[in-house]
Structure 1
Amino acid sequence: MRIPFARKARIVAAALATALSLTSLTACGGSSGSGDSKSLEMWTFKQSHVSALRAAAKEFKKETGISVSIEAYTPDDAYTTKIQSAAKTGDLPDLLEVNSDGGDRVLGAAGILADISADFKGDWADRIQPAVQDSGFVTELRYKNSLNKESKEHGIKKGARYSVPLTVGTFGIVYANKKMLADAGITKAPANWQEFLDALKATKAKDPKNGGLSLGLKVPATGLTWLLQPMAFAQLGQQDYEKLWSKDETKDFGSPNGVKVLSMYDQVTPYWMPGSQTLTIDQADQAFAQGKSAFDVGGTFTLAYLKQNGMNPDDVLAFGMPAPEDGAVPDLALGPLALTGVSITTSSKQPDNAKKWMEFLSQQDVATQFAKDATDLPATELGADSAKVLGPTLSALVDSFKGTPESTYDPSRGDEFRPVGYEQDDVGAVLADLSPLKQQSVEETARKIRELNQSYWKAAGQ
């Protein structure tokens, strides 16, 4: 199951840390096939990446004579177990695809991943989107956090780099069924929040059973992080948006600004797909792919999953969460996050060839083809001509990143303005009682989120 990024990183990191610590691992031995200096082995946990990586590997062999075998082990817990077992027996591959900014550092701390900071520079580094270039790198802050007794990253080295970003993504992407929109008289993406509500109303009126909005609200944080937060950022601007989580009760969720944001979120309530609060993220996406909803909220990564479930990307209209026309940021952009990266294991007998493969994957033409084949967005900065290859739906996802620093909602921010110990699922559960459950009013929701937020500040002693 795909879950909100911050929580997913914590879960994967914790699982890896526990599994690896139980086995007292040391990176030893070599990868299978390591005696062949022209053959590399790479593992991934992303089934949707396998065919794209294999296609890239064919081109890589033509260019270098080096072959790369790609194997997938899914789901995430099976991948963790596979790495754990291979590390014990010395049978790790040369390369691993890893969860960025979590799984990579845990494996680095365990001594399984090599530090490639000396090599990732120059043209190679410059190809990667600036917003995610630090992913995989142990900054001063990340190193300091690793010294905390509760950290799962004991052993990482300041200044080390344990992965290079492969894919990026963001939350707050809306997918719409083109046919259902056309049936309701809609031919283009909503330009603002009101047009989005109008489109929801139109599709629901045309098809009361299937014309609504799906989102996996069984994971409580999704409504908060994927819909309300980007909309609130656009309505209030960065400073007032961040103050919603402050200790200042004149600016928090109980303030007029907070009530305004919650009232706007509540405008979606009539349009939820029936049973949304019981659906996992995958189930909500599957429902959309099956025509049980006209709209689906997710991330850039959702498109590949829709394709896996039989939906043609050309039949989908994709756009970033629409901004309120009268808001502080009417031209909202969504900031990219590093989602997965590629790492070299310390047991690889051919790290130089492994680095050549990693650098090859970052080349613009290779990354563009990977995006098309995987229906996913690469970390490489794509050129203007990429739209001709990617097609309209993937290009729309790329376009959602385009904005100024002031107009870009960055989902990776949070530690800077939220209290230590903040739990987004708890806040999301309160929000769900407002919408879709209609069990409490906007004012009651504002008060409860305020009380919860203040309890975090108090517990943190900040």
Structure 2
Amino acid sequence: MNRYLRRSARTHLALATILALAGAVTACGPGGGGDSSSGDNLTMWTFKQSHVAALQQAAESFKQKTGIGVTVEAITPDDAFIARVQAAAQTRNLPDIFEVHTNGDDFTFGGAGLLEDLADEATWTDRYLPAVAVEGTVTERYYRQSLEKGAKTAGIKLDQRFSVPLTIGTFGIVYANKERLAAAGVTEAPKTWEDFVGVLGAVQKARPRDGGLSIGFQAPTTGMEWLMQPMAYGKLGRAGFTGLFSRDPALNWTSPNGRAVLETYHQVTPYWMPGTQTLTIDDADLAFAQGRSSFVVGGTFTLAFLSQNGMDPANIVTFPVPAPRDGAVPELSLAPFALTGLSVSATTKNKEGAVSWLEHLAQPDVAARFAKDALDIPPVNLGDDPAGTLGPVLGAMISSFGSGADAYNPGDTTHQPPSYDAAVVARSLMELTPLRKADVPTAAAGLQKIIDGYWAGR
């Protein structure tokens, strides 16, 4: 599966499981003798089936270079992966390397004592894009979270590093069927929101039955965070965007700015694929891959899933959610963050070899080959022409990355009230679109009532 919601929504271990893991590792101690590795062969577990062949390809060049083999095993889905890690900790049979959700499972495993601290060993991070170079490191924010009652990352310490990035990406990527665009007379990706809405209309006019846009509204935050919020950021700029989540009636959803954002978002309502409000994220992606929709909104991570399910990447055009023509940030970009990382087990018999494997995957040529094989974006800086290195689809997504005030960063939640529940807010937004049960003023008032309640309870 390719579900990547906000980091706070990622699946972590239950507290009881963490305690079991911690107890198991304490019992076996660092460098315990029950793990499955040998000195000249490393084992690696991943929860991403789409990464296996690419990792095996990289393992061949690693063995030629070092003489060390790497055996890669996929355990899916995520829940099965977590259960396998728990069982392996209890039987002292952990692998040498894990692929983990960055700033999630790495901190949970690290706090339980399962992982090596890589703060001193990760000496190659200058190869990474600056925006993700320190991902997997315990910052002040994550350390404070670990101190909260019931925290699933209890035990981590400031500045520890439990992973280095393997794949990066962001939300707010639109996928379009290239052949259907061409048949509707569309020859290039839309550059503005108005162009985007026009393209939606042109394709649906040409294909009334399957020309629509799909998204996994069964997880309601997809519509809000993957489509509406990037557009709103481009329309209003950072200050205007963050004001939407305030209690100030001159700035929030009931303000002229707030209503204008909702009116602009509402422009896509006629073009939703019928029934999209019932779809999971995977279902929405499958609808696109199988031709039942002509557009889908997802993230950089969606490409591999589409390919696995029969969609030819050569028939895909990708572009970031564009800003409105008169927006405050006309050249809107998307801030990347690490999706998955690589961690070294605390029980490995060959820490030096395991760290060398992590470093090998960060070499530009190896990272580029991995990206093309896995259809996923690496954290490594591949230069000024990513399309020339990785092809037009991956290259276009990398070109949409940015930083600073002109980049929408879905990981920045500092403007939201502490108790903010994105799913509740997004479910209210669905009353406007796709459900058409509320008009713009009613939707604005509903959103603001919920947000005011969170501020009142801070």
CA–CA distance in structure 2, aligned partners of residues 347 and 228 of structure 1: 45
Q: Where in structure 2 are the equivalents of 1:158-173 lying within 5 Å? A: 158-173=158-173
Which whole-Å deviations, capped at 9, do the CAs of 1:69-126 have from their partners, x for residues lacking one? 00000000000000000000000000000001111101111100110101123xx010
Aligned twin of 2:281: 281
Unaligned runs of 5+ in 2: none
- Matching residue's letter, 1:78: A
**Local SS of the residue matching 1:298:** strand
Alignment of 1:253-272 (within 5 A): 253-272=253-272
User: 2:84, 2:33 → 1: CA distance?
Assistant: 15
Residue 119 of structure 1 corresponds to which residue in structure 2? 121
Moved more, 272-281 or 133-142: 133-142
Alignment of 1:203-218 (within 5 A): 203-218=203-218
Whichever residue aligns with residue 439 of structure 1, its letter is K
Secondary structure of the corresponding residue to residue 443 of structure 1: helix
State, as a whole percentage, how many aligned pairs show the same letter. Answer: 48
Q: In structure 2, give the amino acid aligned to 1:413.
A: D
Which residue of the partner structure matches residue 90 of structure 2? 88
- Partners of 1:237 and 1:390 lie apart in 2 by 31
In structure 1, what is the Cα distance between the partners aligned to 2:420 and 2:50? Answer: 33
Displacement after TM superposition at 1:247 (Å): 2.0
Contact 2:164–2:343 (CA<8 Å) still a contact in 1? yes
1:125/1:23 CA distance change after superposition, 3 Å: closer
Tell me the secondary structure at the aligned position of residue 377 of structure 1.
coil
The equivalent of 1:247 in structure 2 is 247
Letter matched to residue 365 of structure 2? D
Partner of 1:375: 375
Offset at 1:22? 4.4
**Alpha-carbon deviations, 1:30-84, whole Å to 9, x = none?**
46543x3211000000001000000000000011111100000000000000000
1:388 aligns with 2:397: no
Contact between 2:36 and 2:94, CA under 8 Å: does it hold in 1?
Answer: no
One-letter amino acid of the structure 1 residue matched with residue 61 of structure 2: E
1:311 is matched with which residue? 311
Q: Report Cα offsets for 1:300-332 as digits up to 9, x if no partner.
A: 000000000011111100011111110000101
Q: How does 1:26-425 map to 2 (within 5 A)?
A: 26-27=24-25, 28=28, 29-30=32-33, 32-34=35-37, 36-121=38-123, 124-401=124-401, 403=402, 405-414=404-413, 416-425=414-423
8 Å CA contact 1:98, 1:104 repeated in 2: yes
Structure 1 residue 147: Cα displacement: 1.1
Distance 2:376 2:239 in 1: 32
Moved over 4 A (4+): 30-33
Q: Which amino acid is 1:68 matched to?
A: V
- Out of 415, 422, 430, which is 2:428 matched to? 430
Instruction: Determine helix, strand or coil for the equivalent of 2:395.
Output: helix
How many angstroms apart in 1 are the aligned matches of 2:182 and 2:349? 56
The CA deviation at 1:4 is 4.4
* Number of residue pairs the alignment of both structures matches: 453
2:454 is equivalent to residue 450 of structure 1: no
Decide whether aligned partners of structure 1 residues 116 and 239 sit closer, same or farther in structure 2, where only a CA change above 3 A counts: same
Q: 1:385: Cα distance to partner?
A: 4.9
Aligned mates of 2:44, 2:242 — CA distance in 1: 41
TM-aligned CA distance change 1:399 to 1:30, over 3 Å: farther
Task: Structure 1: give runs of 5+ residues left out of the alignment.
Answer: none
How does the TM-score come out when normalised to structure 1?
A: 0.96
Measured in 2, the distance between the counterparts of 1:278 and 1:390 equals 35
Q: Give the secondary-structure state (helix, strand or coil) at the position aligned to 2:430.
A: helix
Query: TM-score, normalised on structure 2?
Result: 0.96
Displacement of 1:157 in angstroms is 1.4
Contact residue 138 and residue 157 of structure 1 kept, 8 A: yes
Q: Does 1:459 align with 2:457?
A: yes
1:137-196 CA distance string (max 9 Å, x none): 111232122111131111111111000011101000000001111111111101111110
In 1, Cα distance between equivalents of 2:120 and 2:176: 44
CA distance in 2, matches of 1:419, 1:43: 37
CA distance in 2, matches of 1:233, 1:103: 30
Instruction: Give the letter aligned to residue 418 of structure 2.
Output: V
Name the amino acid aligned to 1:221.
T
Instruction: Please give the per-residue CA displacement for 1:323-363, whole angstroms capped at 9, x wherever unaligned.
Output: 11100001010110110000001011111100000001011
Distance 1:230 1:49 in 2: 29
**Residues 398, 277 of structure 1: alpha-carbon distance in 2 compared, 3 angstrom cutoff:** same
Amino acid at match of 1:203: V
Distance 1:84 1:152, change over 3 A: same
Contact 2:169–2:338 (8 Å) recurs in 1: yes
Whole-angstrom distance in 2 between the partners of 1:187 and 1:339 = 32
Q: Distance in 2 between matches of 1:11 and 1:427?
A: 18
Question: Matched residues in 2 for 1:292 and 1:239: separation?
Answer: 39
Task: Give the alignment's Cα RMSD to 1 decimal.
Answer: 1.4
Separation in 2, partners of 1:444, 1:181: 35
Whether contact under 8 Å (1:238, 1:406) holds in the other structure is: yes
Conservation of the 8 A alpha-carbon contact between 1:98 and 1:343: yes
Question: Matches of 1:21 and 1:281 in 2, distance apart?
Answer: 32
